[in-house]
Amino acid sequence: MDLLRHLRYFVVVAEERHFGRAAERLHMAQPPLSQQIRRLEAEVGVELFVRTTRRVDLTAAGAAYLLRARTILASVDAAADEARRVAAGVVGRLAIGCVGSATYSLLPALSRRLAEELPGVDFAFRGEMLVSDQVEALRRGTIDIALLRPPVADGMLTVTPLRTERLVVAVPDSHPLAARRQIRVADLEGVDLIVHSADRRSAMYEVVRRLFADAGLTPRIRHEVDESSTLVTLVAGGLGAAVVPEPVTALSLDGVAFRPLVRPARSVELAVAHLAGRSEPHLRRTLEVIAALS
């Protein structure tokens, strides 16, 4: 740190061309400043200044040294500023993965808010992810944060609930159920259903399976898909009905009607997850933005 202090003293003297004014600017006495400059010259091995009774001028070596000194000090200051920004959580890189409903209901507003509040953080987003894929991506480090549906039984992850979402039924607008104000599970007996993939261990597949099991019914599953957008598109095509979280209503397509699912009322949770033990400032700041927006 002595060298950096000497460099700062040297630059001020070079700019002021006067030890007295330089000492005032540095808030120190003139004799110690002169001593520090002498020490710097001894370390460098050349005279940096030509001293007269009235002023101080740079030697040719001093002029060359001034250019380097300013570059070094600028780099040190930039490094310190970068370190402070990292500590404040306003720079970095994060990838966020979202389940289907969060992709449409939360991601648009979230991406805007993150751009406003953390413009120095480079965000990447992956939408329409199944929970099983999100857990694997978190473990492998290909995403840093997941907006997913619990339960998630993985000790490597920290899972924090965000909100509870009602379930609704998406039906073709030409279907008799579309004329109803609300739909019960029993009303779906014998109705062709479109569900998220069982093979991919979809959280919503398990929700639908439990709904029908609790009602003593067997779902009539006709199509399994990976993405909520595909699911709603098939409903619009008249291929069946689907039980989905209410935020999926953001995918309002022609030919689809959404009705509340009642008797008994059902809901699902949305949570945010990340690898346990991660506490980087920019990750913490992002989690705060997500919680505030949810």
Tell me the pLDDT tens digit for each residue of 110-162. Answer: 999 999 988 888 899 998 898 889 999 999 999 999 999 998 888 899 999 99
Residue 167 has pLDDT above 70, yes or no: yes
Looking at domain 166-266, its CATH architecture is 3-Layer(aba) Sandwich (3.40)
Single pTM value for the model: 0.69
Q: What is the DSSP letter of 65?
A: H
pLDDT digits (tens, 9 = 90+) for 202-223: 888 888 999 999 999 999 999 9
Q: What is the mean pLDDT of residues 13-42?
A: 90
Sign of CA dihedral 33, 35, 41, 44: negative
Residue 1 has pLDDT above 80, yes or no: no
Tell me what pLDDT residue 161 has. Answer: 95
Listed range (46-55, 86-95, 134-143) with the worst mean pLDDT: 86-95
Average pLDDT, the chain: 90
128 and 103 Cβ atoms separated by less than 8 Å: yes
Q: Which residue has the tokens 């397509």?
A: 253
Tell me what pLDDT residue 219 has. Answer: 94
Residue 294 has pLDDT above 70, yes or no: yes
Residues 6+ apart with CB under 8 A from 98: 106, 107, 125, 126, 127, 128, 129, 146, 147
Tell me what pLDDT residue 264 has. Answer: 67
Listed range (14-18, 74-78, 118-122, 248-252) with the worst mean pLDDT: 74-78
Per-residue confidence band for 89, with pLDDT thresholds at 50, 70 and 90: low
**Fold equal for 92-161+270-293 and 166-266:** yes
Residues 6+ apart with CB under 8 A from 176: none
Lookup: tokens for 66: 């001034």
Helix (H) / strand (E) containing 5: helix 2-16
Looking at domain 2-87, its CATH architecture is Orthogonal Bundle (1.10)
Per-residue confidence band for 163, with pLDDT thresholds at 50, 70 and 90: very high
Residues 6+ apart with CB under 8 A from 168: 243, 244, 245, 246, 248, 249, 258, 259, 260, 261
- Beta-bridge partners for 56: 51
CA 84 distance to own-chain centroid: 19
**DSSP H helical ranges for 27-183:** 30-44, 60-87, 100-105, 107-117, 131-140
Domain extents for the chain? 2-87, 92-161+270-293, 166-266
130 and 99 Cβ atoms separated by less than 8 Å: yes
Residue 185 to residue 266: CA distance in whole angstroms: 10
Lookup: tokens for 170: 């998406």
Residue closest to 133 by CA, chosen among 233, 218, 200: 200
Q: What is the mean pLDDT of residues 283-291?
A: 93
Residue 106 has pLDDT above 80, yes or no: yes
> Hey, what's the torsion of the CAs at 172, 178, 183, 188, to 10 degrees?
-50
Q: Domain 92-161+270-293's class?
A: alpha beta
Per-residue confidence band for 104, with pLDDT thresholds at 50, 70 and 90: confident
Q: At what angle do helices 2-16 and 30-44 cross, to 10 degrees?
A: 110
Residue 250 has pLDDT above 90, yes or no: no
Tell me what pLDDT residue 226 has. Answer: 86
Residue closest to 179 by CA, chosen among 266, 263, 257: 257
